[in-house]
Amino acid sequence: MIRELQEGLFAGGSAEEMINSLFEKIRRSRLNAYNHIAEDQALERAREFDRAPWEGRLAGVPIAIKSSISTKGIETNCSSRILSGYIPPYDAHVIERLKEEGAIIIGKTNMDEFAMGTSTETSYFGPTKNPWDLDRVPGGSSGGSAAAVAAGEAPASLGSDTGGSIRCPASFCGIVGLKPTYGLVSRYGLVSYANSLEQIGPLTANVEDAALMMEAISGHDPRDSTSVKSEGGYLSGLYGGVEGLTFGVPEEYFGEGVDPLVEEAVWDAISKLEELGASWKMVSLPHTKYALAAYYIIAMSVASSNLARFDGLRYGLRLGADQDWHTTFSEIRAAGFGPEVKRRVLLGTYALSAGYYGRYYLKALKVRTLIKQDFERALSAGGADLLVTPTMPVPAFKIGERIEDPLSLYMADVFTVPINLAGVPAISVPCGFADGLPIGLQIIGRHFDEAAVLRAAEAYEDATPYHEAVPKEVI
């Protein structure tokens, strides 16, 4: 899609007309995919492009940005009341890279508040709707980013993935979503939820666009101490096929709790990969059963510390006349944070408290090491080159169906959180439908082997029609 769009622009098309058309579509939409539109900034940049087109991998391409990624001069509210009205004075590293490559930032997408959720229902600005069925969730926490791409309200977008927040909405909305290896994309400018787990990544209409976005945003950034140098080359090796590769199929990712139609679609995808010249073998990730518990202890503990900085005293929500510091601080946070954020802050504070730190948090870190070792063994020499699993155990559920049952929501992340604990890359690509709702295939690779992950995803996508399907209820 990005390549065709650029070809049209450089053949005499107008970036301003394209951007205006997108904004008109967004204004008509009932999806609630955006919580802020950068109309003035985007149109000014489009006019500059039309006057003198510039070079760049993303020259003239409109990109939507998750509302937890800092954008200079554009509201970045994390879909939370406590940050409403906050306009950062700086760009995140990935935004700097997108601008260097010629992209046009068109707005900030709706998300679960502070990225805490699986359905984009915890947003202060209301839930985003799934373009395949307006009564269903788009997944989360990057639900707005995914819905916008699926509905044609943006050619591509950026999300962040702490426990599946790119791959989940990609699966539910029938698009491509890539979580890179931890450290491959700078987190500078990403509003932190759980620092050691989260990564920024692309949501796109096809695999080629995901590879192109990765070429643009990956690379070393000295402002992020976890950032590493990137060799890139994601596009150059994209069409190498899967012949000779061995795919591992983790036995723990099938069976109880997986919708039969999801399981059938994923096995059909494995058969398709076999037809393309790959082989597969069953593997085991024995500590998977502990992943959810370890993940939520770690993520909530870190979140309780990270969110202590939001007090409304320097920016964001202010409730009027101040009282003493303790009362003002408490009242702002009580009014500014939603129920799910409060729940995670409380649980995380408890896990870190005296007498429980060793019992919960340290034990979760040890389990994380075991999970990481499971992936290293499964993907070692003589084992599998890549792993394939369902992205989500079920298709998109209805809005309101699980929001009052936090454990049910947390369980939906069962196949995505282990990847964040291990720090390996994973992509979700469409692999079928269940009662008209998209199903995602998750392809997992070795650390910093995004090239192989993307190559396998491209080979599968090229051999199947699912990425070409258009949501029937797009307005």
**How would you classify the pairing of strands 386-390 and 279-283?**
unpaired
* β partners of residue 62: 104
Q: What is the pLDDT of residues 267-276, one digit of tens each?
A: 999 999 999 9
Residue 312 pLDDT: 83
| Contact assessment for residue 466 and residue 438, using Cβ atoms and an 8 Å cutoff | yes
Residues 400-416, buried b or exposed e (16+ Cβ, 10 A)?
Answer: ebbbeebeebbebbbbb
Q: What is the pLDDT of residues 157-176, one digit of tens each?
A: 999 999 999 999 999 999 99
Catalytic entry in 29, 66, 79, 218: 66
Q: What are the CA-CA distances from residue 250 to residues 384, 398, 420, 470 (Å)?
A: 10, 28, 16, 31
Give every CB contact of residue 380 below 8 A, 6+ residues apart in sequence.
none
Handedness of CA 299, 228, 449, 61 (dihedral sign): positive
pLDDT for residue 256 is more than 70:
yes
| Contact assessment for residue 394 and residue 402, using Cβ atoms and an 8 Å cutoff | no
Identity at 327, one-letter amino acid code: T
pLDDT for residue 381 is more than 80:
no
Q: Minimal CA–CA distance to 94: which of 60, 54, 65, 116? A: 65
Q: What is the pLDDT of residues 424-458, one digit of tens each?
A: 999 999 999 999 999 999 999 999 999 999 999 99
| Contact assessment for residue 25 and residue 18, using Cβ atoms and an 8 Å cutoff | no
What is the 3-state secondary structure of the chain? CHHHHHHHHHCCCCHHHHHHHHHHHHHHCCCCCEEEECHHHHHHHHHHHHHCCCCCCCCCCEEEEECCECECCECCCCCCHHHCCCCCCCCCHHHHHHHHCCCEEEEEECCCHHHCCCCCCCCCCCCCCECCECCECCCCCCHHHHHHHHCCCCCEEEEEECCCCCHHHHHHHCCEEEECCCCCCCCCCECCCCCCCCEEEEEECCHHHHHHHHHHHCCCCCCCCCCCCCCCCCCCCCCCCCCCCEEEEEHHHCCCCCCHHHHHHHHHHHHHHHHCCCEEEEECCHHHHHHHHHHHHHHHHHHHHHHHHCCCCCCCCCCCCCCCHHHHHHHHHHHHCCHHHHHHHHHHHHHHCCCCHHHHHHHHHHHHHHHHHHHHHHCCCCCCCEEEEECCCCCCCECCCCCCCHHHHHHCCCCCHHHHHHCCCEEEEEEEEECCEEEEEEEECCCCCHHHHHHHHHHHHHCCCHHHCCCCCCC
Residue 418 pLDDT: 98
pLDDT for residue 20 is more than 70:
yes
| pTM given for the model | 0.97
pLDDT for residue 321 is more than 80:
no
pLDDT for residue 474 is more than 80:
no
Can 72 be counted among the known catalytic residues? no
40-47: long-range contacts at Cβ-Cβ below 8 A with a sequence spacing of 24 or more?
41/73, 41/74, 41/105, 42/104, 42/105, 42/106, 42/107, 43/16, 43/19, 45/104, 45/105, 46/14, 46/15, 46/16, 46/18, 46/19, 46/104, 47/15, 47/16
**Cis peptide preceding 141, ω within 30 of 0:** yes
CA distance 431 to 117: 24
Q: What are the CA-CA distances from residue 155 to residues 150, 264, 446 (Å)?
A: 9, 30, 28
Residue 91 pLDDT: 98
Q: What is the pLDDT of residues 357-379, one digit of tens each?
A: 999 999 999 999 999 999 999 99
CA distance 57 to 40: 23
Can 66 be counted among the known catalytic residues? yes
CA distance 235 to 340: 39
Q: What is the mean pLDDT of the chain?
A: 96
pLDDT for residue 28 is more than 80:
yes
Q: What is the pLDDT of residues 44-91, one digit of tens each?
A: 999 999 999 999 999 999 999 999 999 999 999 999 999 999 999 999
What pLDDT band is residue 326 in, cutting at 50, 70 and 90?
Answer: confident
pLDDT for residue 249 is more than 60:
yes
| Contact assessment for residue 186 and residue 223, using Cβ atoms and an 8 Å cutoff | yes
pLDDT for residue 9 is more than 70:
yes
Fold entry, domain 2-239: Amidase signature (AS) enzymes (3.90.1300)
Q: What is the pLDDT of residues 399-417, one digit of tens each?
A: 999 999 999 999 999 999 9
Every domain of the chain and the residues it spans: 2-239
Give every CB contact of residue 223 below 8 A, 6+ residues apart in sequence.
93, 186, 188
Residue 475 pLDDT: 53
Q: What is the pLDDT of residues 297-317, one digit of tens each?
A: 999 999 999 999 998 888 888
Catalytic entry in 67, 79, 165, 230: 165
Can 281 be counted among the known catalytic residues? no
What pLDDT band is residue 473 in, cutting at 50, 70 and 90?
Answer: low
CA distance 173 to 169: 6
What pLDDT band is residue 38 in, cutting at 50, 70 and 90?
Answer: very high
Q: Look up residue 214 and give its two tokens.
A: 């990765």
Residue 383 pLDDT: 86
* β partners of residue 282: 249
Q: What is the pLDDT of residues 382-394, one digit of tens each?
A: 789 999 999 999 9
Catalytic entry in 29, 123, 141, 218: 141
